[in-house]
Amino acid sequence: MMIYPAIDIKGGKCVRLVQGDAGRQTVYEDDPLAAALRWQSAGAQWLHVVDLDGAFVGASANMEAIKSIVLSVDIPVQLGGGMRSMDVISYMLDEVGVSRVVIGTAAIEQPSLVEQAVRRYDNRIAVGIDAKGGMVAVRGWVDITGVSACDLAGQMSAMGVKTIIYTDISKDGMLAGPNVKAIADMAKSFAGDVIASGGVSDLDDIKRLKEAGAAGVIIGKALYDGRINLEDALELEE
């Protein structure tokens, strides 16, 4: 299992939202790079960065912050938010140096983009499946679709996607525990790796997700609030 500290960027700052609501925001760092360097120093092997402005409006507003992180850390960066064209995906992977991008909204609205990206970049492409009540949400979690998360995972597997990041929106930022059953169901139905996101509040949550079959866990608010010590969490990777 891999632990991914989360760095969510909005307006150039490192923030956390509650259930994806842009109106319920806490700023943890004025400079996201400070968070990136802190998690790297603590032993993180990956970083999970989200361009929230890109997720909400489909265009990056935090390019300088993203570039500074990628250029300054020695560990791979996984980036999501606004990956809705091949030009953007290629720029992030080939020019900026991001190790893996996460396609979210486009997986529903432009499935051909996922196919094209996977053909070109293989396992450097992940698909983010964000769900509420088992149904996929898009455009920064603003719109709930009529597509079930498991159905979308099956479609992505058929396209050759090897990594899915599953987020239960109702759990995100709540520190009330993850949706372990949903992760277990996803891990059973998807042939590749499932990375769990949303609701992780303590080390027991990480252990339960690992037992459920998660290949990775993204941790955000619990790290920033000091509920989880990253060094302790990293011991669970083995």
- How is 152-211 classified by DSSP, letter by letter? HHHHHHHTT--EEEEEETTTTTT-S---HHHHHHHHHH-SSEEEEES---SHHHHHHHHH
For 5-42, b where at least 16 C-beta lie within 10 A, e where not — what string?
A: bbbbbbeebbbbbeebebeebeebbeebbebbeebbee
Is the whole-model pTM more than 0.85?
Answer: yes
CA atoms within 13 A on the CB side of 178: 31
What pLDDT, on a 0 to 100 scale, did the predictor assign at position 58? 58
Pick the residue with more confidence: 60 or 224?
Answer: 224
pLDDT digits 0-9 by tens, 97-114: 999 999 988 888 899 999
Domain enclosing residue 23, as ranges: 2-234
Q: Which of 30, 70, 31, 34 is nearest to 49 (CA)?
A: 70
Find tokens 């450097």 and name the residue.
Answer: 124
Domain count, the chain: 1
What pLDDT, on a 0 to 100 scale, did the predictor assign at position 82? 85
Q: At 139, is the pLDDT very low, low, confident or very high (cuts 50, 70, 90)?
A: low
Residues with catalytic annotation? 8, 130
Q: At 135, is the pLDDT very low, low, confident or very high (cuts 50, 70, 90)?
A: confident
